[in-house]
A and B are shown apart, each in its own frame.
Chain A
Amino acid sequence: MSEAIRIESLKKTFRLGFIPKPREILKGISLAVREGEIFGYLGPNGAGKTTTIKCLLGLIYPDAGTIDIFGQPHASPRARQTLGFLPENPYFYDYLTASEFLAFYADLFGLDRREKEARIGRLLALVGLERARDLQLRKFSRGMLQRVGLAQALINDPKLVILDEPLGGMDPLGRKEIRDIIVRFKQEGKTVFFTSHILQDIEMICDHVAIIVGGRIVKQGALQDLVSEKVLFTEVVLSGLPAEACRGLGESVSAKGDRLLLRVFEENKVEEVLALVHDRKGRVLSLSPRTETLEDIFVETVTGQ
């Protein structure tokens, strides 16, 4: 599988303020995104995620390093033809209607009238905004703006879609819709590179992830390689037993009325808890083994730096 994005030793320092003080944002980023995969780019606020994306898009000139998009230098018109971008908290010309807005972006790719009309119709249907076609963007909700932004990112039928926090500020239903659209991109053979703070979503749809902290990539790889399937602990919710009866078997996390939430760290102790509940005529209300999540990896990586 060939590479959609290759970034080598990317560095960027900003000099801001009245008396410019250098602030190194990217300290030698290197990463590769394979064609056809969904790549999650994670990091705490100010880690350098958006700066990496802006370098990728040619909005910021890197001080050092190279960026290739499908083997082409990132700033070349051929590379730009292949990508679509949705920024974080997008603001668009709010006096345009959804179809005028998309037509404007289609003009930047030189699409002819028939092709333009066909794509606008298809994209508005894809993001569920057919009925808002002639509505001005100023009347759009935040979720609708995000969706029309996604449509403009796709106007050139890009091979690579770059999304900066596409799920930020969305309600659970909106998040699910965007997530489904991203998964559909993958099915269509597109490569998706996206940043998000919502780790559950990344875990749900990403193939590869990279974690950036303080301008350096501290961890990257396939999601299944990073997140082990080893059971960290088992959470048992039971009733009919006092917390004291379970002492030594696990950690009592909470007790509400008759209910007790017990965190058991060893597998053989789970058997003992079940036997104890059986002997004391209690009830097991739920039992859930907890494996490692991306959030665990993220928290461990970020706090470890």
Chain B
Amino acid sequence: MKIRAIAGITFKEAKRDRVLYLLFFFAAAGIAASRVLALLTVGDRVKIIKDVGLASISVFGVLMAVLIGTGLVYKEIDKKTIFTLLSKPLHRAQFILGKFLGLVLTLFVMTACMTAIFLALLFLHTQRFEGAMLVAVAYIFLELVLITAVAILFSSFSTPILSSLFSLAFYLIGHLSWGLELIIRKMAPGAGRTLVRALYVFLPDLENFNFKTEVVHGLPIPPAIFLSSFLYGAFYTAFILGLAVLIFRRRDFI
């Protein structure tokens, strides 16, 4: 009940944010532009629409999660609304969880809207419903959930600008860390390899959520990969949220 109340107010607040609509506009423009790009391309035009459409959903979704998520907790502290909230029988963990779920709900609605535009555009081009795209979108959404947790973690102790930078850095590192796996394979066994392996385990690997290539090119995906990616996302999100709660619980609200 309490978490639902916090999530509800967060959703109401997030949907009033103009940044959300600006990003949504650019995402829709990006998806629409994929058709123009397809016209200029030699080869499979549908693949271009799918590639650019899914990339738009992913990039603008991440920007929404970061730019709104990093301000959520900070704003409550800065405007001192947190004083009345935490004076009620509300655990700090419930507050963080409510904020997280409120933003996840916002992102779900936005992702659903972006996907609807994307699928409608694809339908115009192919005259058929491309249900397989939903798999890629579902994992993009899972990635957004993780990024939301990261944004809230940074927002619980830092300013929105710094939190945005940290969260975007997390996103970039997450999409480049798979390179470490290649390095590990080429390294000789020893302390160096153990160190790089430990680094790889600690750093996020957001490529686990990237099924765009497989979906666009119609490649088979083993069910075990779906499951491991889902579990990776769920556990990493839980870990980051736990960290956020730990930091938030120890804070003094001056």
Nearest residue (CB) in A for B82 is A59
Nearest residue (CB) in A for B4 is A107
- Verify A81–B89 contact, CB threshold 8 A: yes
- Contacts A85-B83, A87-B80, A91-B81 given; indicate if A109 touches B16 (C-beta within 8 A): no
- Verify A60–B88 contact, CB threshold 8 A: no
Chain B: interface secondary structure? helix
Interface string of B1-41 (1 = CB under 8 A from A): 11011001100110010000000000000000000000000
B87 CB–A CB distance under 8 Å: yes
- Verify A108–B5 contact, CB threshold 8 A: yes
- Contacts A57-B86, A91-B81 given; indicate if A108 touches B2 (C-beta within 8 A): yes
A250 to B4, CA, bound (A): 70
A171 to B129, CA, bound (A): 65
A61 to B92, CA, bound (A): 13
A153 to B88, CA, bound (A): 9
B44 CB–A CB distance under 8 Å: no
Contacts of A60 in B (CB 8 A): 252-254
B79 CB–A CB distance under 8 Å: yes
A9 to B89, CA, bound (A): 25
Nearest residue (CB) in A for B89 is A80
- Verify B254–A105 contact, CB threshold 8 A: no
Residues from 70 to 88 in B contacting A, C-beta threshold 8 Å: 79-88
A58 to B252, CA, bound (A): 9
- Verify A85–B4 contact, CB threshold 8 A: no
Contacts of A59 in B (CB 8 A): 82-83, 86-87, 252-253
- Contacts A59-B252, A91-B80, A107-B2 given; indicate if A77 touches B13 (C-beta within 8 A): no
Contacts of B13 in A (CB 8 A): 93, 95
A25 to B67, CA, bound (A): 36
Residues from 215 to 245 in B contacting A, C-beta threshold 8 Å: none
- Verify A91–B79 contact, CB threshold 8 A: yes
Contacts of B2 in A (CB 8 A): 107-108, 110
A108 to B94, CA, bound (A): 10
A89 to B84, CA, bound (A): 12
A59 to B90, CA, bound (A): 12
A149 to B158, CA, bound (A): 28
Residues from 118 to 156 in A contacting B, C-beta threshold 8 Å: 149, 152-153, 156
A49 to B86, CA, bound (A): 18
Determine which of B4, B12, B82, B250 lies in contact with A95 in the assembled complex, contact meaning CB atoms within 8 Å. Answer: B12
- Verify B80–A14 contact, CB threshold 8 A: no
A85 to B12, CA, bound (A): 24
Residues from 18 to 66 in A contacting B, C-beta threshold 8 Å: 54, 57-61
A185 to B82, CA, bound (A): 25
Contacts of B1 in A (CB 8 A): 107, 110
Interface string of A200-228 (1 = CB under 8 A from B): 00000000000000000000000000000
Interface string of B145-168 (1 = CB under 8 A from A): 000000000000000000000000
Determine which of A54, A105, A107, A110 lies in contact with B84 in the assembled complex, contact meaning CB atoms within 8 Å. Answer: A105
A220 to B90, CA, bound (A): 33
Contacts of A83 in B (CB 8 A): 87
A43 to B209, CA, bound (A): 58
A90 CB–B CB distance under 8 Å: yes
Contacts of A16 in B (CB 8 A): 254
Contacts of A110 in B (CB 8 A): 1-2
Contacts of B4 in A (CB 8 A): 107
A96 to B9, CA, bound (A): 9
- Verify B87–A93 contact, CB threshold 8 A: no
Contacts of A58 in B (CB 8 A): 86-87
Contacts of A93 in B (CB 8 A): 9, 12-13, 81
Nearest residue (CB) in A for B250 is A61
- Verify B87–A85 contact, CB threshold 8 A: yes
- Verify A57–B252 contact, CB threshold 8 A: no
- Verify B5–A104 contact, CB threshold 8 A: yes
Residues from 59 to 102 in A contacting B, C-beta threshold 8 Å: 59-61, 77, 80-81, 83, 85-87, 89-93, 95-96
Question: Which 10 A-B pairs have CB atoms at the shortest separation, nearest pair first?
Answer: A107-B5, A80-B89, A85-B87, A57-B87, A59-B253, A108-B88, A60-B252, A87-B83, A77-B89, A91-B79
A-B contact pairs, 25 of them (CB 8 A): A54-B254, A57-B86, A59-B83, A59-B87, A59-B253, A60-B252, A61-B250, A85-B87, A86-B84, A87-B80, A87-B83, A87-B84, A90-B80, A90-B84, A91-B79, A91-B80, A92-B84, A93-B12, A104-B8, A107-B8, A108-B5, A108-B88, A108-B89, A109-B88, A153-B84
7 additional A-B residue pairs with CB within 8 Å, beyond A61-B250, A93-B81 = A14-B252, A80-B90, A81-B89, A87-B84, A89-B80, A104-B5, A110-B2
Which residues of A approach B to under 8 Å, CB–CB?
Answer: 14, 16, 54, 57-61, 77, 80-81, 83, 85-87, 89-93, 95-96, 104-105, 107-110, 149, 152-153, 156, 162
